[in-house]
Structure 1
Amino acid sequence: MAVEVTGVGQREAWLAKRFPSVERLDDGLWSVPVVFPGNPMRYTLSYVLTQGDECLVIDPGFDSDEGWAQLVAGLRRAGVGAGEVTCIVATHFHTDHLGMARRLAKASGAPIGLGAAEQRHLSVYDDAEQEVELDRERMRLWGVPEGRIEEAAMSVGALEHLRDLADADFRLSSGQPVPFGSPHGEVRVVETPGHTPGHLCLELPGREIFFSGDHLLPRITPNVSLELRGDPNPVSSYLDSLALVERSNHYEVLPAHEYRFRGLGVRARELRTATEERSLQVLEAASVQRDPSVHSVARDISWSRGFGSLGGLQFRLALSETAAHLQHLAVQGLVGGVRGLPTLAPQVPMLR
């Protein structure tokens, strides 16, 4: 069975590199694209759900004046003003999901919800300069050439930007209803750590609709990174989360990027297989190197655009993803001696 594309117009826009339209998807449910400037993902698909006098916004998007105008216009299409939003939920703590939450909450007074386990792990520090130096030292341990340390490490400006993101007014756990609708309970929470430590998805069981955030995307594998103060074994968490959502393929998946599709279980299994194959690729690269480092392994595995072409954030993400897979392998006792990885108790090997 293959994934069925349901967001045909969204897919056409994605492939043509055009900005998609606001769409009415179901009774009281709208898809609103919000620009993500300077990023290859280009925009976030925010979702607006209305019921009576209540309005829930899921992943309001990156904070910019242009994006704010797009979100307000989308809300207007849904029949509500920004001041009438009653609840905001971000699937995770990334700027293209949580960024606009503070502005929307200020306009409406709506509370902001995040996953129970979501951490501000990139914004918990006392001294930004000291935090940057810690990150640079980690890049050195990962074998990054000295001339590219500054490019790979976090900057003071980036850290301060993350610190400005909104805090949660309430936290959500698996099986818990989102405080929206009358009676509350239409929107249910599924905790799906991996892409971030406390990533969550939302579902409308009665309508067989699944808001997947970045956990499940139709075309690409979400980045799963090893980050300072983050999940010490995010690949393992991601694999467990994928297994958790391998349910009915009748569910329509509403992701935060690209386009809608049907086939929740099919896509979850595809992504689980792709993640396991990536770990095997990392294992093969590490096994033939005398003294493997995160950088040397990343250099020797395949990347869609080629490792040599990666710069800035994409370079960092490639390193962090490679480190996450090396950590997953190290915990299973399949690789050892790679510097800069957290120390965890070994587990029984799971790769076949």
Structure 2
Amino acid sequence: MGRIAGGRVNDARHAWIEPGAFEVAPGVHRIPLPLPNDGLRAVNVYAVEDSDGLVLIDSGWALADARGQLENALGEIGYGFEDVQRFLVTHVHRDHYTLAVTLRQTFGSKISLGAGEQPSMDLLLNGGQTDREVERLHRWGADRLMTQLAEAYGDEPRQKSPYEAPDEWIEGKVEIPLGSRTLLAVPTPGHTRGHVVFMDADAQVLFSGDHILPHITPSIGVEPARPELPLGDFLDSLRLMQSYPDLRMFPAHGPPGGSTHARVGELLEHHEQRLAQTLEVIRDGAGTAYEAALQLGWTRREKKLVDLDLFNQVLAVGETSAHLDLLVTRGQLSVDRHGEVAEYAVVG
């Protein structure tokens, strides 16, 4: 990632990650915060001015650099952490949730999270998520990745969980009054089972979290309590967005703006193409999710699975499993789950 003096980004494709507070709508500032890896580069936090202070949509990862960058950005628009009344968090992933937990411990800000995240939060707070991950990898035929994960992380000491329960669970579709504006929270399961987007109809904007991203397709079902058919949930949630007015997209990763409906159409088309590709590799002889992932191309550069880092290999196999299971529900594949490993075959 290239930079010039003063920390400014010199690559136009990634200009959106430049630190600061950027007004994207009246009373709404986008604040990009750093992440501990180069994959997503940054996460956008949106500071919404309220009559009593600020409401932040998402919070960032609980990192010292992210906290300092958020503090500086809020200072640019005349606020401090003590002015943050509430965090509206789109989903449970670390880069969206955990800095809110840290700041609440000092400043008492309230945290709201979609009710669909309760099963995953229970596992994050009480343990068990690692066992679930191991079971899934084995079921996907990815024992090789299990071994690599054990070699890479097995000796690392366990750290204290950065998670705590929210103050409020957002139940279903509900209006959230914020003084001079009202947001509509809409559940959009898929990326996670409790993902929520926030609509501001008057400002004609959608805080889309990771549900709709401008340049990449969000991962599907990456969560401790993975549902049975995460891709089916995701596609249904995309189609749900088409039933609302076409709002400007304020995503969690990437530059803001652009048509929600246009991007939804692109994502739906992408997954139909991916389903066709996944069906074809099973027809060519792959039997497990891992074997299928080895035959598919990844990223826009069509990389081989083994050329991805270990974390992204796990994501890729999970993504492949989601496509395979949807093809089963569509009647195009059959699956034999009588053994410990799920084996897929073309129907007919």
8 Å Cα contact 1:217-1:255 kept in structure 2: yes
Q: Quickly say closer, same or farther: Cα 1:63–1:141, change in 2 above 3 A.
A: same
Q: Partners in 2 of 1:328 and 1:162 — Cα distance?
A: 36
Deviations 1:4-24 (A, max 9, x none): xxxxx9996543696354201
The RMSD of aligned alpha carbons is 3.2
- Secondary structure, in 3 states, of the residue corresponding to 1:210? strand
Q: Does the aligned pair in 2 maintain the 1:45–1:255 contact within 8 Å?
A: yes
Question: Do 2:16 and 2:255's aligned partners in 1 also have CA atoms closer than 8 Å?
Answer: no
Counting aligned pairs with the same residue, the percent is: 27
Q: Are the structure 2 counterparts of residues 162 and 318 from structure 1 closer, same or farther at C-alpha, using a change threshold of 3 Å?
A: farther
8 Å CA contact retained: 1:248, 1:263 = no
Is the contact made by 2:25 and 2:203 (CA closer than 8 Å) also made in structure 1?
Answer: no
| Alpha-carbon distance between aligned partners in 2 of 1:25 and 1:278, rounded to the nearest angstrom | 33
Aligned pair partner of 2:278 in 261, 278, 282: 282
Q: Is the 8 A contact 1:293 1:338 kept in 2?
A: no
Paired residues of 1:194 and 1:234 also in contact (CA < 8 A): yes
Could you say if the C-alpha distance between residues 133 and 51 of structure 1 is closer, same or farther in structure 2, counting changes exceeding 3 Å? closer
Q: Which runs of 5+ in 1 are unaligned?
A: 1-8, 343-348
* Deviation for aligned residue 1:158: 9.6
CA-CA distance at 1:279 after TM superposition = 1.4
State the match for 1:118 in structure 2.
117
Query: 1:226·1:234 contact (CA, 8 Å) conserved in 2?
Result: no
Q: What is the alpha-carbon distance in structure 2 between the residues aligned to residue 110 and residue 332 of structure 1? A: 45
Question: Hey, what does 1:345 align to over in structure 2?
Answer: none
Deviates more, 1:216-225 or 1:134-143: 134-143
- The answer to whether structure 1 residue 150 and structure 2 residue 147 are counterparts is yes
Q: Is residue 139 from structure 1 mapped to residue 134 from structure 2 by the alignment?
A: no
247-256 vs 307-316, greater mean Cα deviation? 247-256
Matched, 1:293 2:291: no
TM, length-normalised to structure 2: 0.84
Conserved 8 A contact 2:173-2:184: yes
C-alpha contact 1:54 1:180 (8 A) present in aligned 2: no
Q: More strand per residue: 1 or 2?
A: 2
TM superposition shift of 1:311 = 2.2
The residue number in structure 2 matching 1:219 is 215
Counterpart amino acid of residue 207 in structure 1: A
Deviation at 1:49, TM superposition (A): 0.4
Tell me which residue corresponds to 1:62.
61
Counterpart position of 1:266: 262
Does the 8 A contact of 1:224 with 1:321 survive in 2? yes
Rate the CA distance shift 1:21–1:55 in 2: closer, same or farther, 3 A: closer
Superposition map of 1:23-62 within 5 A:
23-62=22-61
Q: Using the alignment, how far apart are the partners of 2:68 and 2:114 within structure 1?
A: 27
Count the aligned residue pairs.
Answer: 331
Of 300, 303, 306, the match for 2:304: 306
Aligned-partner Cα distance in 1 for 2:129–2:111:
27
Residues in 2 aligned to 1:160 and 1:222: alpha-carbon distance in whole angstroms = 28
Deviates further, 66-75 or 99-108: 99-108
Q: Which amino acid aligns with 1:150?
A: T
Cα contact 2:140–2:290 (8 A) shared by 1: yes
SS at match of 1:262: coil
Greater relative CO, 1 or 2 (CA 8 Å, sep 6+)? 1
Equivalent position amino acid for 2:205 in 1: I
* 1:197 aligned partner, one-letter code: R
**What is aligned with 2:192?**
196
1:206 aligns with 2:218: no
Change (3 A) 1:26 1:65: same
Any idea what the Cα deviations from partners look like across 1:241-290, whole Å, max 9, x if unmatched? 0001115675211000011122111111111111122112111111221x
- The gaps in structure 2 that reach 5 residues or longer are 1-7
Deviations 1:177-200 (A, max 9, x none): 225325xx6111111100000101
When normalised by structure 1's length, the TM-score is 0.84
